[in-house]
Amino acid sequence: MCGITGIVDMRGERPIDESLLRAMNGVIGHRGPDGDGFHFEPGVGFGHRRLSIIDLEGGKQPLYNEDHTVVVTYNGEIFNFMEVERELLQRGHTFRTRSDTEVIVHAWEEWGVECLKRFNGMFAFAVWDRRAKTLFIARDRLGVKPLYYAMLPDGALAFGSELKSILAHGGLARTIDPHAVEEYFALGYVAEPRTIGMVSPGNS
């Protein structure tokens, strides 16, 4: 079990509050007792808590491509990563680690959002592509690995492996949507597009 966190400015490149992201990452420290890691650049901050399983030395995160223009923070396991790695090697990609994490970076470079079709596993990850100015966040099809996200009133997007990491941000209102509660009791779930929390005007 690992954990991921992040803050991304969806309106520009405002500096990310490093102490805030470290606090968000800290509250999920139990998910990754073997260490933490961070990536910061204008408008983007990724955090990671690591439980070392594969490639104990080389699998530290966030992890980058060769020129550091693509970065990933990832929780999970891609069962067929060696198969995907072989295909990427045949296509000219170079690997520096033996971790399944690096497969995500190069698969994103090669196939973009279609990379998800190559992955068999349980995962939650966020990729930032600096050249394309693209943030891509994904979770496995069954939601085995948790992933929470929220658009905040200031135009930032916050995400994390646990809801309390987003609540640690402080910018998310802790107001319950009574219609969502009614749906939960009537249906056993909250139907899209609602969530259990009240959404402020301009958020989604």
pLDDT one-digit tens code per residue, 137-167: 999 999 999 999 999 999 999 999 999 999 9
Q: What's the CATH code, domain 3-172? A: 3.60.20.10
At 111-141, the pLDDT tens digits run: 999 999 999 999 999 999 999 999 999 999 9
2 tagged catalytic: yes
Residue type, 111: W
DSSP string, 139-186: E-TT--S--EEEE-TTSEEEEESSHHHHHTTS-S---B-HHHHHHHHH
Closest by CA to 197, choosing from 189, 179, 188, 186, is 179
Query: Domain map of the chain by residue range?
Result: 3-172, 174-204
User: What is the pTM (predicted TM-score) of this model?
Assistant: 0.88
Give the span between the Cα atoms of 46 and 115, in whole angstroms: 21
Is the CB of residue 66 less than 8 Å from the CB of residue 92? no
Amino acid letter for position 24: M
The pLDDT, as a whole number, for residue 33 is 80
Which of the following is catalytic: 2, 27, 78, 104?
2
- The residue among 49, 38, 48 whose CA lies nearest residue 16 is 38
Angle at 35 between CA 83 and CA 168, to 5 degrees: 105
Rg (CA), the chain: 17
pLDDT-above-70 percentage for the chain: 93
pLDDT in tens, 1-11: 799 999 999 99
